[in-house]
Amino acid sequence: MRQNSIVGGALLLTVGAVLAKVFSAVYRIILTRILGGVGIGLYQLVFPVYSMCLVLSTTGIPIAVSKVIAKSEDVKFSIKYCFKFTIIISIILACVLFAFSDILAKSQGDIRIAICFKLLAPSIVIVGVSSVLKGYFQGMMNYIPSAVSQVVEQFVKLVVGLLLSVFLIDWGLIYSIVGAIIGIVVSEIVTMLILLMNFKKKGIKTSAKNTYTNKKQILKDILPITLTNLILPISTFIDSILVIKLLNINFSSEISIYLYGLESGAVNNIVTLPTIFSFAVATAVMPSFSKENQDRTKFSKIFQLVILITIPCFAIFVVAPEGILRILYSNTISSQGIDGLSISAELLRIGGFGMIFLALNQIISSYLQANDKRLSTIKNLIIGVMCKFLIEIIYLPYIDINIYALAIASTLCYLIVFVLNFLQVRKIQKISFEKFFGMKIVVSSILMLLVYFVINSIGKSLFVSFFAYFIAGCSYFFSVYLLDIFPYKKSIFHQKS
């Protein structure tokens, strides 16, 4: 019964996380249309700092709290200790962010975003409280509040943030960005209230327990997870300063922020869309990758499934990116007398290569972590990030390369991490592919592209482009079905009784 609850809870959390990611993707695409290239560039400068604060104050808290509460007889003490620990850290970080907002904004190249840091500072405490409550519910094996709250959070952010952003755009660009930031704060407050209401409905059992063990276990669980999740936010924060500074060598600050917004906002929104699927698969199947429950053929099949889904996206991104950009952004990302669509199309072509390695890395990282190789994934990620910085420092100052260096560096970072992780997996097990798998994928992709170009040649309207992408996608999966590329008859998620 307990095992069924755990499996059901994991499935519920996965569904909630996927829905939240879908809402988040829609939000960012629409927000890019509202703010344009410069606006989304300013918006993107804010979040590396905010993300670092959240990682330091809350990452690892839900897992640590759920583990301690699941084992503890004194739940009341555990929850109180976790609240105190998290709130103290969160208040300190919120005060630091508020106090140093002007300095941070200047270091990133635009003092206007200081107000955004000040508005987001209270959210650090709010998210801290929510993280403890999520850990409590998961420890009590009640997964509904966590799943519902993360979906509601993204939905409220989408509705409130976009409405305020549209309403305030006539007042000025920075006011529109502030409107989006207020939407985030409101969504965090709503999430906390939902969790608090559920928390008050449940009684907390109490009894004697060795409190020192609980404190030690909480810190032991928090630290490694926090250190792991700090790598990418730190990398993004350094990028937000480094990229702007290096671009300023050849461009004005406004154009540098605009170019950064195109790559980190408009293009990155599209590149990460296909990875929603790989994220869902990685989360759902991670328990089956463990040493105790290991199917040697399952990993190979899931690996192929992710390739099967990402290859058509890669082909479209590389060969025909202009249509996607016109459908999603129209001409809203062109500014400063610069053709944003053309630049974004080239960035998307480069990002398409990185998208495949990013998606596959999610599966490989889940496999390695389930097999006690977390330190290997951290080491490989650090190596990839350091190589990324090196490429940016060398090539961003070149006026003919400029922002493309960031896309190239990110792609090579994903490639390096993928290769290193893949070599680690090969030490544990072999990866086998279905017969003629690669050839069949290539044939299906070529057919898809031919269908797209034939239909798209009818006209240049957005409707024709959308229809061409839709039919081309259908033709790809129909070809996959006819060529029997993947053994669908036997579900990869089937468990032997």
How do residues 339-369 score in pLDDT, each as one tens digit? 888 899 999 999 999 999 998 888 888 778 7
- Other beta carbons within 10 angstroms of residue 126's beta carbon come to 19
* Helix, strand or coil, per DSSP, at residue 193: helix
φ/ψ (deg, to 5) at 39: -60, -45
| Residue owning tokens 């300063």 | 241
**Both tokens of residue 96?**
């630091």
- The predicted model scores a pTM of 0.82
User: Which parts of the chain sit beneath pLDDT 50?
Assistant: 1-3, 5-6, 206-213, 292-293, 487-497
Partnered with residue 338 across adjacent β-strands are 335
CA distance readout (Å), 374 to 16, 228, 421: 25, 9, 11
- 239: nearest Cα among 61, 420, 376, 392: 392
Q: Among 461, 463, 489, 440, which Cα is nearest to 312's?
A: 440
DSSP percent split of the chain into helix, strand, coil, nearest 5? 85, 0, 15
How many CB atoms lie under 10 A from the CB of residue 481? 12
- Position 157 scores a pLDDT of 93
Give me the pLDDT at residue 211, please.
46
Q: How many helices (H) and strands (E) would you count in the chain?
A: 19, 0
Burial classification of residue 122, based on how many CB atoms lie within 10 Å of its CB (0-12 exposed, 13-18 middle, 19 or more buried): middle
User: Could you write out the DSSP letters of every residue in 407-451?
Assistant: HHHHHHHHHHHHHHHHHHHHHH------TTHHHHHHHHHHHHHHH
Tokens of 217: 């276990």
With contact defined as beta carbons under 8 Å apart, do 355 and 314 qualify?
A: yes
Terminal-to-terminal C-alpha distance of the chain:
15
Residues pairing with 335 in the sheet: 338
- Residues 6+ away with beta carbon under 8 Å from 152: 187, 190, 191, 194
Q: Which amino acid is residue 491, in one-letter code?
A: S
Q: Are the C-beta atoms of residues 317 and 351 closer than 8 Å to each other? A: yes
What percent of the chain shows pLDDT beyond 90? Answer: 26
| pLDDT tens figures, 420-458 | 998 888 887 777 666 677 788 888 888 888 988 888 888
Q: How far is residue 88 from each of residues 4, 57, 225, measured CA to CA in Å?
A: 37, 9, 19
Q: What is the pLDDT of residue 462?
A: 81
Rounded to 5°, the CA angle 300-306-311 comes to 125
